[in-house]
Structure 1
Amino acid sequence: MSTCAKVSRDLEEPLAGTAATARTWLLVEQPGPWGADALTSSHLDPALGRALDEAAEGTGVRIALIRRPGRHADCRTTAERQVYAAHTAPGNVWLHSATTSDPERLLDLDFAALGGGRAGTFDRALGGRPHPGGPLALVCTNGKRDRCCALLGRPLAAELAASGVDGAWEVTHLGGHRFSPTLLVLPFGYAYGRAEAHAVKEVLQGVREGRVVTEGCRGSSAWERPGQAAELAVRAAVSEDAAGVLTVVRTEGQAPHWEVTVAHTDGRRWLVTVAQGASSPPRPQSCGSPLGSPARMDVLAVRELSRTAA
């Protein structure tokens, strides 16, 4: 039986505009097994997981659990946990890190402030500081969400770690199982699908150089999905790979049609027409799910506006 990832690859399903949406990511180390809803189905106290989920709701913060690649002992206690917070909106991109032996301290965070891009709440609550290392490469490996994430994601994460990628972590959920192996790179927040180790290393080198690699890119988590597709289309149209120079400033309309305005820091603007289509022929969105026609973001036009256009 074919996996959802193989069917998606064979059908050449487009990747643009399929990334999870989150302006701020909060990542909490939790070794051991993960369930499908990892915040409440792991060795993290489920009451704490529920409280964190409720605290983050509607704030723009997405919480995920992470663990080091490799074999996982069934750890029920963790002396020190690594915690990261990253904000992905251009003009205020940052990645801070901390360690804590008391995950209850996460409830001291002001999630509204964190979602708004204010790192101070993370630093005060957890003793955080700007992350001294390089970018993070987060590979979804949660087989309880979908078997493709384990079958394809775990080997990729292990290969990255074995080849010396310091920022390689396994992560609980990035969405889009059928695009496995899926990857999120922080701090810029671009997601990738059908990732391979050599391509991931190129992406990470791009981050270190302030560039965005668009090959295999699903979009930036800073934007809703029409904006993700629009920003990538502008990058392709004008051969722009610099990180942090494009911003989605306006999205008008509603499904299945949007007009998205994308602005450059140099004053240029583009109006991008995006339409939501249905993928055909039908295919499973996850392994074992019924056949369906997942939504896709199709860019119909990219038109440059005058520098003075609103």
Structure 2
Amino acid sequence: MEGNHSAHGAFILLGFSDRPHLERILFVVLLTLVGNTTIILVSRLDPHLHTPMYFFLTHLSFLDLSFTTSSIPQLLYNLAGHDKTISYAGCAVQLCLSLGLGGVECLLLAVMAYDRFVAVCKPLHYMVIMHPQLCLGLVSLAWGCGVANSLIMSPMTLWLPRCGHRKVDHFLCEMPALIRLACVNTAVVEGIAFILAVGIVLSPLAFILVSYGYIVRAVLSIQSSSGRHKVFNTCGSHLTVVSLFYGNIIYMYMQPGASASQDQGKLLTLFYNIVTPLLNPLIYTLRNKEVKGALRRLIWGNLHLRKTI
């Protein structure tokens, strides 16, 4: 009876209770929300950015917003007082969103790599290949696979017997932390998680690396230095985001059980839930003249409109 009761009881999120100075850093979430919202608005409002690349970037910014808003409100609530609990339903929602959004972002980054491959290696046929129907289909495929991953792994993780263990050594309901609470052998669950991670994490990463192999070969054949610089600018931003995101995900989900360090796991989860979504808008705006130009046009347009009124 205790095992059944604990399966649906509230969880206690320990978070960074042993490192209170880290908790103050978490309020940078406001900058994350502003940065990603700005990318979405600029990409939608400026006609010059109505291209496949910025269509995918809008979805990436939406994912970053979702990552942050799915975990941080509960975290801020826990930081505000002594109550560190989260309901079973709330924990389930966090887990489902974490697994689903993570899977979508892995595949979306692969889609963005394909977009860069077509733009660099087949520039004359770019708009024919990357037509709106294909772009929508690729994004839908990414979302579908992410949702499927969540629907498979979330129930398997939540239904593991915990024998009364409710203290989650994490600041959110993350799959590795919940697996550690199980009082049974979790080899089967970890094996399935590894297999899905190969399909959703490693396969897109391999596709990204192959795509950039072709891109590098195409860049080396470009005679113009300005042409090379333009390619490096657009592709460099994407590669930076890929490095930040995949580095954390591979560490977390290719070793989901007890073999992963708990402290490192918490810090890496904090990084890709807050720091990476904060850095992504900066990476794309600081390295991208088109986004900076769109921001200037929107700002000057609004100022001119106010003066006219």
TM class by smaller structure: under 0.3
Higher strand fraction (1 or 2): 1
TM-score w.r.t. length of structure 2: 0.19
Question: Considering only CA atoms, is the larger Rg found in Structure 1 or Structure 2?
Answer: 2
Higher helix fraction (1 or 2): 2
